[in-house]
Amino acid sequence: MRELSEQEQVRRGKLQRLNELGIDPFGHSFKRSGYAKEIKEKYQGIDHDEFENINDEYIVAGRIMFIRKMGKASFFSIKDKTGLIQIYISINDVGEECYDLFKSADLGDIVGVRGKVMKTRTGEITIKCLEYTHLVKALRPLPEKYHGLTDKEERYRRRYVDLIMNDDARKVAFMRPKIIRCIQNFLDKKGFCEVETPILTTLLTGASARPFVTHHNTQDLDMYLRIALELNLKRLLVGGMEKVYEIGRTFRNEGMDPQHNPEFTMMEIYEAYSDLEGMMNLTEEMYQTIAKEVCGKTTFNYLGHEINLDGKWKRISMVDAIKEKIGVDFKKDMTVEEALKLASEHDIEVQEHEKTVGHIINLFFEKYVEETLIQPTFLYGHPIEISPLTKKNPIDPRFVDRFELFISGHECANAYTELNDPIDQLERFESQLKEKELGNEEANDIDMDFVEALEYGMPPAGGIGYGIDRLIMLFTEQSSIRDVLLFPLMKPENEDTN
């Protein structure tokens, strides 16, 4: 049994007194007529003296965040979902019994107030309390106002306290659904249909990632939590749903850092009869729409850089970007031995399953180029070896029609001109199996049902996947993925610290 602190013991004593007074310490429903932000905005421009002729009343409710007790009259502030509003309470207005009830309140208690709107001589919009209602007794004290939850681990672990104390955390929490709703409205207006596909799957396909493995007891079947949304959405293109998208949870059994959480939100979009160029244009327009409609600006401070989303974004091929940075030209034909020699000269370690020219090109990009792509950049022309689901480039089949969007040195989206040739697709799957045999734990399985679907004919298409959490990091100007997830994955806390 946890030992109670002195403050917690005092609060439980107050809870007992509420019970003795016949007041439910944990309250019932309470109907409000206004919120803090709208009340303050409505009356902020009115002079103090004009309030003598204003008799507007409001019923508000929220958590007590500040108390200044002054004998027979006091000020306190409550916070609702929109912010803080000040309350003035006097024994002359509410009576002795009610005022005594208020005086027993603690920071963190949740209360209701009916009162008349006024403005103090210092210019603060205030509710003059005419009726005070206790709603919920907080049994634990809030953190100190000026320190809050300074330990980031504690902020993430006790997000509910972080949301109480940290206005920035609340802002991000409320902005996230607005951004997602903006995306949905944007795509819906363009004729896309939002769909849902299974989270549990029997095959590891759609991306290069290690999966979480689970077990279906009734079927006695090992299954994966999906690592991507791709193949089921492309099946829908075969079925005639020409413009589809899904926003959903995806799971990858990987480490945690400021850019990665094992459980994250992904959006994938597929459009029949489109291509890589169509996905670039769609992405530019979507980001710029979010910036203007949700944020009201197009410049953002992201990961230490000022990012400008306006205008046309840079477009450059992977091999040209490498040549631009270090002078190595992978556009010309070369053998694996020549590529390995270049890797050795540039201190690049090559694993057994990476001993192909395409993999080595990608290793050069990751080491010398990726972190230098600061402003929005569409990087296209990936080697075929690292893109098993992408259509070959018709001019140079060593490469595929794929791009990644990079902002502040990090990937934010991944797009393809989709591979719809079932024969080529089967060969790519078989190549992935060979990589798995050589030790690549992230290689794909063969999905024969998907190959069969392609044999019925999938229209030419463009497709793209976005990390929604990273997108929200940009628009809310956060440096860690944990700051845009309400409940990021955390290691279990020792019981003795509770």
pLDDT band at 227 (very low <50, low <70, confident <90, very high): very high
The predicted structure's pLDDT at residue 496: 41
Superfamily of domain 164-313+375-490: Bira Bifunctional Protein; Domain 2 (3.30.930.10)
What pTM, to 2 d.p., does this model score?
Answer: 0.91
pLDDT, residue 155, reads 87
| Whole-number pLDDT of residue 498 | 41
Q: What is the mean pLDDT of residues 28-39?
A: 97
Mean pLDDT of 14-22: 97
Q: How confident is the model at residue 70 (pLDDT cuts 50, 70, 90)?
A: confident
CATH superfamily of 6-142: Nucleic acid-binding proteins (2.40.50.140)
- The answer to whether residue 208 scores a pLDDT higher than 90 is no
Kindly state the average pLDDT of the residues 340-349.
96
pLDDT of amino acid 147: 53
In percent, the amount of the chain with pLDDT more than 70 equals 97
pLDDT surpassing 90 at residue 128? yes
- 170-193 tens-digit pLDDT: 999 999 999 999 999 999 999 999
pLDDT on residue 491: 84
pLDDT value at 432 more than 50: yes
Q: Quick one: pLDDT at residue 92?
A: 97
Read off the pLDDT of each residue in 112-116 and give the average, rounded to a whole number. Answer: 98
pLDDT of residue 204: 82
Q: What is the mean pLDDT of residues 9-24?
A: 97
Average pLDDT over residues 265-279: 96
Output the average pLDDT for the chain: 93
User: Does residue 495 register a pLDDT over 50?
Assistant: no
What is the spatial distance between Cα 416 and Cα 451, in angstroms, rounded to a whole number? 18
The domain spans of the chain are: 6-142, 164-313+375-490
pLDDT at 411 over 70: yes
pLDDT at 149: 59
